[in-house]
Structure 1
Amino acid sequence: MKYITSSLLLLLAFSSFAQSTKTINQYGNPIFEGWYADPDATVFNNKYWVYPTYSSKYKEQVFLDAFSSDDLVKWKKHPHVLDTSAVKWANKAMWAPAIVEKDKKYYLFFGANDIQNDNEVGGIGVAVADKPEGPFKDHLGKPLVDKFHNGAQPIDQFVFKDKDGQYYLIYGGWKHCNIAKLNKDFTGFLPFDDGTIFKEITPDKYVEGPYMFIKNGKYYFMWSEGGWTGPDYSVAYAVGDSPFGPFKRVGKILEQNDTIARGAGHHSVIINKKKDKYYIVYHRRPIGDTDGNHRVTCIDEMNFDTNGNILPVKITNEGVKAEKLK
């Protein structure tokens, strides 16, 4: 009997250790399992959300998953919040989602089909849902942007809400970036005062993956540069007085670390306004992995100096500690 009791206690102790180990292992980078890239991170209803690209061959990129968390540590997967069965014009390369909430609706912007010229079908689309986890349905039945304007491939879209409540679409690959003024229901665009729809705001060395936020009245414009499959992939930024710039490149703030990961880039930012904390959510490649699609989603803290400059981000395996919004 004494032997059985001792064995039982040992088993219980081991189970407790295994459980605590499991919990500890939920901390760190990458933040969830699977090959995912180009994450758009945001906050809805006191919950963190991440919408990434499913990183695979173009013909296999026919859906988008989402992930939610209460604390930046434990993430719940929401599979196939959108797939090509709901978007009749899209058939591959569903990329780089960007989401925004407006009037109690959730609008998910995405790229599809990787068009190479104006004669191909595809570009930037919009899907809509009543909940952040979807299911999303095609908002237009056609792409929102289906042509090359100012040389920008219609991919890598970001939706920016200005201080006056106006929403803008900021997008572009192939080393060109445009900004366009969205109409109220996100079905099209409003012309600028000069009659144009798409204004180019491309800074020096820009390649793709634009992102913008406001801090202390200044517009921080961020982007990815370098080759997306190469070690030079990284994030740089500029600062301006309006969403139209002009934007003069300041420098890189996120890049690879030979001892941790390669090709760190294509990011977004989570801002905890109550605690004035900033987190950069990005993808990177495991050391030694040569498959171009093997990218994982990670998170690290982003800090500023006293002059408002973004300090170089230290990429880590540890990630960030649990941080609830409430």
Structure 2
Amino acid sequence: MLLRLLAAIALILPLPANPVMDGADPHALVSGRDYWMYPTEARSRRPIFAAYRSTDLRTWKREGTILDLDKVPWVKADGAPWHGAWAPGMTEKGGKFYFYYSVGPQDPTPSRIGVAVGDSPTGPFTDSGKPLLTGGNGFEAIDPMVFVDPADDRAWFYAGGSAGATLRVFEMNPDMVSFKREVTVKQPEKFTEGAFMHRRGKIYYLSYSHGKWNDSSYSVHYATASSPEGPWHYRGCVLESDAKHQGPGHHSFVENPSTKEWFIVYHRWETAKKEGPFRGGRKIAVEKVDYDDKGLIKTIRMTDGKSPVSPVRR
């Protein structure tokens, strides 16, 4: 009775609307009774990452910095005059939290991916002490995502994209900070960057961004497979620019474990202008995701006003 009353109150209270916050490249997950999100920080002058917490996908509270690249010794070993903190991903396994993150620049020194380990969604996080993956030879080591398969508890690492537009896939060792093996995969159709993996039923969904990050071509596409290794069957574009918002992408999918509803958390540019390059801050938004009777993702429409409300009740 109390839960129904709280849900009814949530529907009538004035709540934040889409977009829900400033930022880009949001990785969202559920841990405990809360949603957690790890974005590329909006307009930060330091190479840092932070955690954001929400009970309903609408209202997000910044819980503080979880990693400062100025305090990670190996980051400065490339001799670059500056470093960027981009596109992180978080994974929970065995009571530990593993934070994977991109380190720029991509030129003249290659991009790198690091990993840090903590005991909670807010850490404190301890870096592994060295890069997990370094770019080079046409491959850009960016946009890490690690998926723990509920079918067998194996962990799979996905990364790469941008100018190289190359996806690489690895099986992780049990320590979650090193690779067991690299998997040779056929490049997904229209893949550019920002890979994300989720599983619904027996279907594995590899979704990713296509196009240029700062113009209206940026969009979300996906492919399906019967395993996290592929082979992938391209299914098309599910989220693209419209009359009011441009360049939606670099997203994550998150499931409410109580209601079994799925949502996409993504960034976009709040402009009707179609010609890039866009400048200024990107915004993060949340939309509900629906599937058809074959398990395919229905076209996702961007919204303004009320974003989805889906409290986690375990």
Whether TM-score is above 0.5 comes out as: yes
- Distance between the aligned counterparts of 2:176 and 2:146, measured in 1? 10
Q: Check conservation: 1:147, 1:154, Cα contact below 8 A.
A: yes
The superposition leaves residues 234-255 of structure 1 with CA deviations (integer Å, 9 ceiling, x where unpaired) of 0000111111211132110011
Alignment correspondent of 2:177 = 187
Q: How big is the shift at 1:46?
A: 1.4
Q: Residue 262 of structure 2 corresponds to which residue in structure 1? A: 278
| 2:278 pairs with 1:294 | no
Q: Which residue of 1 aligns with 2:5?
A: none
Q: Alpha carbon RMSD of aligned pairs, Å?
A: 2.2
**Runs of 4+, deviation exceeding 6 Å:** none
**Residue 3 of structure 1 corresponds to which residue in structure 2?**
none
- Which deviations, in whole Å up to 9, do the C-alpha atoms of 1:233-292 show, x marking residues without a partner? 000001111112111321100112213x11111100111233121100000011168653
Shift of 1:93: 1.6
1:49 aligned partner? 36
**Structure 1 length-normalised TM:** 0.83
Alignment pair present for 1:101 and 2:96: no
Secondary structure, aligned partner of 1:85: helix
Q: What are the within-5 Å matches in structure 2 for residues 12-23 of structure 1?
A: none
> How do residues 218-229 of structure 1 correspond to structure 2 at under 5 angstroms?
218-229=203-214
State the match for 1:16 in structure 2: none
Report the TM-score when normalising by structure 2.
Answer: 0.86
Letter in 2 for 1:177: L
| 1:177 lines up with 2:167 in the alignment | yes
Please say if residues 288 and 308 of structure 2, whose CA atoms lie closer than 8 Å, have aligned partners that are also in contact: no
Instruction: Tell me, yes or no, if the aligned pair for 1:300 and 1:319 is still in contact at 8 Å.
Output: no
Q: CA deviation at 1:299?
A: 0.2
Please state if 1:312 is matched with 2:299: yes
1:55 positional shift: 4.0
The one-letter code matched in structure 1 to 2:178 is G
Distance in 1, Cα, partners of 2:139 & 2:189: 15
Which deviations, in whole Å up to 9, do the C-alpha atoms of 1:54-110 show, x marking residues without a partner? 2448xx450012210112222211232111133123352211110011222211100
* Counterpart pick for 2:26 among 16, 36, 39: 39
Q: 2:114 corresponds to which residue?
A: 125
Contact 1:238 1:250 in 2 (8 A): yes
Tell me the number of residue pairs that the alignment of Structure 1 and Structure 2 aligns: 291
Q: 1:226 to 1:319 in 2, by over 3 A?
A: farther
Query: Equivalent residue for 1:265?
Result: 249
DSSP 3-state at the match of 1:81: strand
Which shows bigger deviation, 249-258 or 79-88? Answer: 79-88
Worse-superposed segment, 87-96 or 288-297: 288-297
Answer yes or no: is the 8 Å Cα contact 1:201–1:244 preserved in 2. Answer: no
- Unaligned 5+ segments in structure 2 are 1-8, 76-81
AA aligned to 1:325 is V
Alpha carbons 2:147, 2:157 under 8 Å: kept: yes
The residue type paired with residue 290 of structure 2 is: N
Unaligned 5+ segments in structure 1 are 1-19, 192-196
CA shift, 1:26, in A, is 3.2
Task: Give the partner amino acid of 2:119.
Answer: D
State the 1:311 CA deviation: 0.6
Indicate the percent of aligned positions where both proteins have the same amino acid: 32
